[in-house]
Amino acid sequence: MATMTYLEAISDALREALRTDERVFVMGEDVGAFGGAFKVTDGFVEEFGEARVIDTPLAESAIVGTAVGAAVVGMRPVCEMQFADFISCGFDQLVNVAGKTHYRFGLAVPIVVRLPSGGGFSGGPFHSQSPEAWFMHAPGIKVLAPSTPEDAKGLLTAAIRDPNPVVFMEHKHLYRRVKGEVPAGSYETPMTARIASEGTDLTVIAYGAMVHAALGATEHLDADVEVLDLRSLVPLDVDMILASVAKTSKVVIVDEANETCAAGAQVAALIAEHAFEQLDGPIRRIAAPDVPIPFSPPLEQAVLPSVERIRDACRDLLDY
């Protein structure tokens, strides 16, 4: 197995898909000659040509809408939003066209929309969002959020092969910061949760970059903490969530996203409804407050969930 960054693993999945499936093409703003704003498609146009690595006009609604059109006539488009934030301009096509088509008349829409998301590097209010919950609330769209290079490659491969619209949240702050072993060739990672660290005293539930924050926060705690990496938000692995809570009886849920109606709110509601009897303390949530993600480092750090906040929440709950 090769060691790759999270970004290299995503590139690798795309490259494998383009090599092995002629229906696959990638498109987005500046993905061709420039290789994408983050260089995920660097070198692609040389290998696969301009017909399959398409530089599009600056038109997010049309990026998603044309992907839907290409998909229903047999293609497997993979779109890149330059930043996840810009999906707001393509929201209608994703939610109303892509998400509802199979339910309405049984027509599958196999598209993948890659969303470089998350903050931590002074991107400001329009380059730092974590908008995954928007799509959890819209029927018909799968939402994936890997935290490791191995899962990033396997989940992106699974997304491209899936017959449904899939929103693929790739955390920008993990792109070059996280490295790991990645199997060669094509493989699919299941759209289920994963135990990132096994324990019996308390469960921390997270996804994306917050998995790494959770692991950092609990590493030196004097307790046996389980860290559950959701990996997939739609479908949500309810069984694994409830099994972990049944084992530990205490749960901290972490979102990088704004707190209200975040993915973690749904997880908390499921636990409250289905595992109330197993709890030995209140469900604790750590998330960004409901503010735009600010630009200046001290402001941004005050907003994004930190290792310290997660650690404090774990300590409080362990003492409960």
Partner 1 sequence: MKALSPRPGGPAVAEDPADAPTRLVPADRVELLRSMLLMRAIEARALALYKQGKVPGSFYDGFGQEAVSVGAAFAMGPRDRLCPLHRDLGAHLVRGVATERVLAQYMGRASGVTRGRDGNVHFGDPAVGVIGMVSMLPDMMCVATGMAMAFKLRGEPRVALTWCGDGATSRGDFHEAMNWAGVQRLPVVFVLENNQFAYSTPLAKQFAVDPVERARVYGFPGVTVDGNDVEAVFEAVHAARERAVAGDGPTLIEAVTMRMHGHAAHDDMRYVPPELLVEWAARDPIERQERRVAAAGVDVAALRAAVDEEVAAAAEAALAAPMPDPAEAASGVFATSEPQPLGDGRAPWSGFA
Residue 33 found at the interface with partner 1 (CB under 8 A): no
Q: Among the candidate windows 1-9, 53-61, 171-179, 236-244, which touches partner 1 by CB under 8 A? A: 53-61
At its nearest, how many Å lie between partner 1 and the CB of residue 59?
Answer: 4
**Active site annotation includes 127:** yes
Residue 298 found at the interface with partner 1 (CB under 8 A): no
Q: Among the candidate windows 8-16, 35-43, 65-73, 277-285, which touches partner 1 by CB under 8 A? A: 65-73
- With CB under 8 A, what is the number of residues at the site for partner 1? 41
Contact residue for partner 1 among 32, 35, 36, 110 (CB under 8 A): 110
Contact residue for partner 1 among 11, 157, 164, 244 (CB under 8 A): 164
Cβ proximity to partner 1, 43 vs 163, nearer residue = 163
Do residues 208 and 171 touch, judged by C-beta distance below 8 A? yes
Contact residue for partner 1 among 1, 106, 185, 222 (CB under 8 A): 106
Residue 92 found at the interface with partner 1 (CB under 8 A): yes
Please tell me the distance from the alpha carbon of residue 14 to that of residue 216, in angstroms, as a whole number: 30
Please tell me the distance from the alpha carbon of residue 219 to that of residue 223, in angstroms, as a whole number: 9
Which residue among 127, 171, 173, 212 is the active-site one? 127
Binding site for partner 1 (CB under 8 A): 25, 51-52, 56-57, 59, 61-62, 64-75, 77, 92-93, 96-97, 100-110, 139-140, 142, 163-164
